[in-house]
Amino acid sequence: MIYLVRHGETEFNVARRHQGHTDSPLTELGRRQARGAARALAGLVEAQHTVIFASPLGRALTTAQIIADTIGITAPIITDADLKEVRMGSAEGMTEAEMTERWPERHPLSAVDSLSFESPDGERLEALSTRLRRVLTRVVTHDATSRILVSHGVAGRVLRMLHLDLDPADAIRLDAPHDVLFRFGAKEVKRIAFEID
């Protein structure tokens, strides 16, 4: 079984700044969200038969480590650069207002090929999809019974889009909450909400 977790809330999330490959530390709420995800996963997986794949960005690695420690997963966390968030180029660290001021002609967030790739020098959907397909292939072929992916907001939407074979316009409408994890089944994705202490 494959489970997808978004990293916990970060300081940039609170400030409503786009992160991309730029890192921002988890807030205390973000750490509590990671523990909540771990408690939910503890009832779904057996620690000795579970492996965690994580983006190498600090916010995802910290979330993955909290999950591993809470559940008691002893297998090393597999960091995979293909799980990184979309690269937003010169828009990283900016708010929506700052981006609109800098690029008034840019595509809005709802543009079909956008999925928030609004910076002229940012990563496009095709490139992001290609690398996320690669990681899904590696994850599916791993011999662990349960595989937990710790990734990001836009990357998580695209992972679900690929698994469900959705049109990008539909993927834009997918949410990316910090208090829900997703279980990938045969042509379905189940939302699993969890409590935060």
- 7 given a catalytic annotation: yes
CA–CA separation, 64 vs 109, rounded Å?
A: 28
3-state SS, residue 53: strand
Which one of 9, 85, 118, 123 is the catalytic residue? 85
Which secondary-structure segment (H or E) carries 188? strand 188-193
DSSP 116: T
E-state strands within 20-86: 50-54, 78-79
3-state SS, residue 132: helix
Neighbouring-strand partners of residue 4: 149, 182
- 28 given a catalytic annotation: no
Which residues, 6+ apart, have CB-to-CB distance to 26 below 8 Å?
A: 7, 8, 9, 10, 34, 59, 62, 63
Catalytic residues: 7, 85
